[in-house]
């Protein structure tokens, strides 16, 4: 399968990339690692007139600290995110979940920013960054703006990025002291999650003080399981966690597809939330 023809630009700086995008209207696509975009183009589900390859912009790669925040360049590959000592120390959930994305060869090419900008609710990292209360920094012709993850995922495969904006970095508040776990249910290795649950848990005196839960593939966008987050406050044993996890699917609208019915996805959300929270809380 051969992609449709397109024009190709390879800017060497963020400014040049933004200028290129601004000159192309709605017909341009940003090529990050290409692990989602190129399959879509080969299947002729995407027909960009211009592909803007941001793979040779060094300022978009790497991880640094900014006080209590980790700043991850949008073009940092999954492989590099998993291996990064700062990510492992301060955002272990992101490292653990990224290690479940696709397979090693895809993780050498695929990038954190590309996965988030693609805004696929079945992808793992959108729900993880949502659970981590991350922020996404976009640069457009008018400068930079910061978009909270809660406002970034607009609809199926739609982010809050304007056509002339480039996602440049992802800001993750350090989650020191939080337990974490990503529980993913999929049909075979390297398949997309049928449902995934990203959990962060802070304990106090043996009880759960605070929980943040991101849901993968439970609607058109990644979602927070807000009802379960509230219900889990004060849970001190596995039975209490299981009761609270029963509300994990509240407010979700999961899709029906060949892998699962909405009812089955709701069931999975409850079961996987229980497992993820127990593991994150060290009660499993």
- The residue range among 5-13, 135-143, 214-222, 243-251 that interacts with other proteins, by the rule CB under 8 A, is 5-13
Contact residue for other proteins among 29, 79, 171, 224 (CB under 8 A): 79
DSSP three-state, residue 269: helix
In 3-state terms, what secondary structure has residue 232? coil
Q: Which is nearer to other proteins, 52 or 63 (CB)?
A: 52
From 27, 43, 155, 243, residue interacting with other proteins (rule: CB under 8 A): 43
Site membership for other proteins, residue 86 (CB under 8 A) = no
**102 forms part of the interface with other proteins (CB under 8 A):** yes
> What DSSP state is assigned to residue 111?
B
The smaller minimum CB distance to other proteins, of residues 13 and 226, is found at: 13
State which of positions 170-209 bind other proteins (CB under 8 A): 189-190
Q: Residue 253 in contact with residue 220, Cβ under 8 Å? A: yes
Minimum Å gap between C-beta 130 and other proteins is 26
> Does 6 sit near other proteins (CB under 8 A)?
yes
Residue pair 47/4 in contact (Cβ under 8 Å)? The answer is yes
For 248, half-sphere exposure in the C-beta direction (CA atoms, 13 angstrom radius) is 33
Minimum distance from CB of 39 to other proteins (Å)? 6
Contact stretch for other proteins (CB under 8 A) within 31-39, 119-127, 142-150, 167-175: 31-39
CA nearest 269: which of 216, 233, 202, 207? 216
Smallest gap from Cβ 34 to other proteins, in A, equals 6
42 binds other proteins (CB under 8 A): yes
C-beta of 263: minimal distance to other proteins in Å? Answer: 28
Find the DSSP H helices in the chain: 14-22, 37-42, 78-83, 85-90, 92-98, 104-109, 112-118, 124-131, 149-152, 226-231, 238-245, 262-280
55 lies in the binding site for other proteins (CB under 8 A): yes
By CB under 8 A, name the one of 61, 89, 109, 150 that touches other proteins: 109
Instruction: Please state, in angstroms and as integers, the Cα–Cα distance from residue 68 to each residue in 4, 65, 91, 172, 207, following that order.
Output: 45, 7, 11, 9, 25
Q: Which is nearer to other proteins, 6 or 264 (CB)?
A: 6
- Binding residue (CB under 8 A) for other proteins from 23, 105, 187, 210: 105
- What distance in Å separates the CA atoms of residue 252 and residue 155, rounded to the nearest whole number? 13
50 sits in which H/E element: strand 50-53
Binding residues for other proteins, per CB under 8 A?
A: 1-8, 10, 31, 34-35, 38-39, 41-43, 51, 53, 55, 79, 102-106, 108-109, 189-190
């Amino acid at each position: 399968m051969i992609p449709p023809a397109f024009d190709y630009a390879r800017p060497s700086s963020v400014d040049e990339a933004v200028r290129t995008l601004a000159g192309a209207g709605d017909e341009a696509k940003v090529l990050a690692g290409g692990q989602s975009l190129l399959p879509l183009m080969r299947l002729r589900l995407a027909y960009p007139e211009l592909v803007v390859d941001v793979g040779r912009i060094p300022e978009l790669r790497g991880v640094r600290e900014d006080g209590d925040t980790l700043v991850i360049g949008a073009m940092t590959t999954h492989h590099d995110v998993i291996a990064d000592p700062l990510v492992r120390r301060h955002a272990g959930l992101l490292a653990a979940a990224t290690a479940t994305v696709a397979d090693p060869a895809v993780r050498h090419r695929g990038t954190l920013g590309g996965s988030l900008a693609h805004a696929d609710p079945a992808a793992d990292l959108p729900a993880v960054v949502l659970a981590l209360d991350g922020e996404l920094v976009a640069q457009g012709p008018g400068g930079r703006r910061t978009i909270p993850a809660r406002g970034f995922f607009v609809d199926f495969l739609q982010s809050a990025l304007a056509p002339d904006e480039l996602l440049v970095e992802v800001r993750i508040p350090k989650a020191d002291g939080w337990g974490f776990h990503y529980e993913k249910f999929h049909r075979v290795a390297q398949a997309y999650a049928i449902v995934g649950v990203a959990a962060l848990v802070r304990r106090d005196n043996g009880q759960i003080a605070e929980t943040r839960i991101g849901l993968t593939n439970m609607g058109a966008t990644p979602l927070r399981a807000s009802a379960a987050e509230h219900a889990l406050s004060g849970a001190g044993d596995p039975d209490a966690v299981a009761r609270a996890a029963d509300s994990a699917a509240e407010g979700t609208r999961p899709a029906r597809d060949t892998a699962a019915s909405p009812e089955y996805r709701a069931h999975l959300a409850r079961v996987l939330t229980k497992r993820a929270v127990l593991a994150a809380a060290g009660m499993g």
